[in-house]
Structure 1
Amino acid sequence: MHFVSEMTTAAWTLLEQSSLYILFGLLIGGLLKMVLSPAYVAAHLGKGRFKPVFKAALLGVPIPLCSCGVLPAAAQLKRQGANNGATTAFLVSTPESGVDSIAVSWALLDPLMTVARPVAAFCSAFVAGVMENLLDPNANRQPMRILPMASAPAAACAGTECGCGHEHPTLPAAGWGQKLGQGVRYAVTDIWGDLAGWFFVGIAVAACITVFIPDDLITRHLGGGIGSMLLMLLIGIPLYVCATAATPIAASLILKGVSPGAALVFLLAGPATNVAALAVLVKILGKRGVAVYLASVSVVSVLCGLLLDGLYMSLGISAAATIGEVAEFVPHWLMTGAAVVLLLLSLPLISRWFSLKGCRLA
């Protein structure tokens, strides 16, 4: 019972510290969905080895999708004309970051890690995309033409004088209030629906690490250096964990003595790769593309981890000492209220999530 009490306390503390920022991140993510459609993104990701990759890596950073959720979006981008390099960059940066994970990083980690995480995600995505285009003999071919949806020709050019001969009904423009409502619904049902189950699994794993794993064991094997980075790669690459769920795990590991660089490797490699997603990636990018994808994520993650450790050392900052400091400025009643709201929003989603997992295992 003593261990159960400690785990419950640790899990609730993490939930309180992160809930307000998760709600904020979900709101921003829902609004992004309203203004950034895959068709708009794909229009900028066609021909070229560098510019489309830069755009794809940059646009993928704030979008809150996990490594499996990003697959259909990336496949659609490629069908709409994005080249392999841009598709690869989008596949890397999107699951490694997101407004929700950035917000929860601010709550559970520290400002330096919060900034380093999306920057490292962009760098790994850009390198992966450029390498894919440089090694792809078909990279400079004209991408496939982006076609309008056949089921709605009128809607595609409504309100325009396109000369196609169709009658174009005038579609009412959605106001900002309606868009906000749509964004909130999308954030709660779709974004958080995909993340809720894994987030609470991450909270539970973080609580177990806090209670059961001795500090000296982690410090001895993951205290820093390239060896700890490679070990984090071995753990993170096959593991399925979304960027938001990985954050409390990383916070608990840092508190136990893991170097911030090793934690960053886990935060990048874990969300960007998993065994289930790799099988689908072969169909999207091909075997060579997947090899470039894995190599780029691995190498850039380790390099960014080593640079981050060096930065902390040069600044004389202890990552463990600064973990969760931002949350101390938020009133406790507000953190508790946000945790209760998040739990209420999550109960039907978690029930559905476990039902789906049970059906897949049956």
Structure 2
Amino acid sequence: MADTATQTPPPWRKRIDGAWAFSAALLALVALLDLPQFVPTVTFAARAIAGTAPFILFAVCAVAYLKATGAENLLARAFEGNPARMIVMAALLGGLSPFCSCEVIPFIAALLAVGAPLGAVMAFWLASPLMDPAMFAITTGAIGTEFAIAKTLAAVGLGIFGGFGTQLLSGTPIFANPLREKPAVGGCCGVSQPFSAKPVWRFWTERARVTTFRDTGLENAAFLLKWLTLAYIVEALMVHYMPADLIANVLGGSGLGTVILGALVGMPAYLNGYAAAPLVAELLEQGMSNGAAMSFMIAGGVSCIPAAIAVWALVKPRVFAAYLTFALTGSILAGVVWQVVA
């Protein structure tokens, strides 16, 4: 009999302690400092989770299916052919693909190792953390379909903007010898040759793929549940304690300043796209401008720690600085456009 005391826990049990602990700490503080508000806070979060449940279920099943079938193997084809075509395809697929942070590193490392143009890689890097099927579903449920579609378009647009910007500046010192060292293929997901196999759409015919479907589904369900629980607790506290006129005065209005401020606040303050969606929805209710909301989510999504580490691990600081510059500039442009359209 195996010694269960020393077995490694399944993947879906990992990476949940921090967010759950923070949620518990917030509730404990509410109970300690304002006990009458404790039950309304818990009730608000529970009802919000229940309302978002259909979107969570769809997101979990969609990502699990894509992982189990190996559909993401098709992404490598975006990095073949004409450089301009590569940039556009990389931005499109980066904005739609269900990547986790640990898979981005081995995938990009493999591409860089075989000489893929940095412009196409930059396009994928910028677009990838901003949108995926799960995030689209959560954003739709929290803010609305129009905002989710606009954010998807902004993700693709940012990728194209950064990709062609990198391509145009490829001969400058900024992008000369961009890599820290020649990357090796591999990563924390155990992908030694990432995205090299053909998809198997009928994944249930293979036991290993069924296991992948189960583990991916449970892992994503735990991930979404922990972050959305934290987000809805924070939202409940914002509704009760944060004056609406404060948000309206700082991030309201239609001027360029609010869009720039949204991007500048979003870059260091962002949690992740799943937690940010309900918080931004509440900020919009309290008077945050549409443009500031978009620039906040775009700038924060690209600069959040998992996305930034994937870039920092492979390229030199000047290239990383260019990555952040493209993110900030593109997020402001996206915010201005959405401010006009919305």
Could you say which TM-score interval applies, normalised by the shorter chain?
0.7 to 0.9
- Provide, for residues 189-234 of structure 1, a one-character-per-residue CA deviation record: whole Å limited to 9, x for no partner: 4444554433332222222222211100000001032222222222
Counting only pairs closer than 5 Å after superposition, residues 1-362 of structure 1 correspond to structure 2 as 1-36=35-70, 40-46=74-80, 48-65=82-99, 70-79=104-113, 81-137=115-171, 175-178=202-205, 181-182=210-211, 184-224=213-253, 225-274=255-304, 278=308, 281-312=311-342
Distance 2:71 2:112 in 1: 14
Distance 2:161 2:330 in 1: 8
Deviation, 1:80, is 5.0
2:304 counterpart letter in structure 1 = N
- Provide, for residues 273-305 of structure 1, a one-character-per-residue CA deviation record: whole Å limited to 9, x for no partner: 135754552342323322222122212211221
Alpha-carbon distance change, 45 to 193 in structure 1, aligned in 2, over 3 angstroms: farther
Percent of pairs identical after alignment?
Answer: 26
Deviation, 1:108, is 1.6
Match of 1:356 in 2: none
Distance 2:62 2:305 in 1: 30
Are 1:39 and 1:77, in contact at CA under 8 Å, matched by a contact in 2? no
Are 1:30 and 1:183, in contact at CA under 8 Å, matched by a contact in 2? yes
Distance 2:43 2:51 in 1: 12
Distance 1:65 1:213 in 2: 35
Distance 2:192 2:59 in 1: 33
Distance 2:104 2:275 in 1: 16
Q: Secondary structure at the match of 1:296?
A: helix
Q: Which stretch of structure 1 is more off in the superposition, 117-126 or 288-297?
A: 288-297
Q: Secondary structure at the match of 2:128?
A: helix
Deviation, 1:6, is 2.8
Deviation, 1:39, is 5.3
Distance 2:203 2:72 in 1: 20
- 4+ residue segments displaced more than 6 Å: none
Question: Which 5+ residue runs of structure 2 have no aligned equivalent?
Answer: 1-34, 186-190
Deviation, 1:152, is 10
Are 1:265 and 1:301, in contact at CA under 8 Å, matched by a contact in 2? yes
Alpha-carbon distance change, 80 to 2 in structure 1, aligned in 2, over 3 angstroms: farther
Give aligned pairs, total.
292
2:337 counterpart letter in structure 1 = L
Deviation, 1:114, is 1.8
Are 1:232 and 1:266, in contact at CA under 8 Å, matched by a contact in 2? yes
- Provide, for residues 58-104 of structure 1, a one-character-per-residue CA deviation record: whole Å limited to 9, x for no partner: 11122234667644443344335532222222222111111111111
Distance 1:114 1:35 in 2: 26
1:44 counterpart letter in structure 2 = A
Q: Secondary structure at the match of 2:98?
A: coil
Alpha-carbon distance change, 265 to 273 in structure 1, aligned in 2, over 3 angstroms: same
2:292 counterpart letter in structure 1 = A
- Provide, for residues 100-145 of structure 1, a one-character-per-residue CA deviation record: whole Å limited to 9, x for no partner: 1111122121222121010011101111111112212399x9xx9x
Are 1:22 and 1:103, in contact at CA under 8 Å, matched by a contact in 2? yes
Are 2:73 and 2:197, in contact at CA under 8 Å, matched by a contact in 1? no
- Provide, for residues 141-174 of structure 1, a one-character-per-residue CA deviation record: whole Å limited to 9, x for no partner: 9xx9x99xxx999xx899xxxxxxxxxxxxxx78
2:276 counterpart letter in structure 1 = A
Are 2:302 and 2:308, in contact at CA under 8 Å, matched by a contact in 1? no
Q: Secondary structure at the match of 1:44?
A: helix
Are 1:10 and 1:210, in contact at CA under 8 Å, matched by a contact in 2? no
Question: Which 5+ residue runs of structure 1 have no aligned equivalent?
Answer: 159-172, 313-362
Deviation, 1:16, is 2.0
The two structures have a TM-score, normalised by structure 1, of: 0.69
- Provide, for residues 1-53 of structure 1, a one-character-per-residue CA deviation record: whole Å limited to 9, x for no partner: 23223322322232122221121022112222245566542343156432111
Q: Secondary structure at the match of 2:271?
A: coil
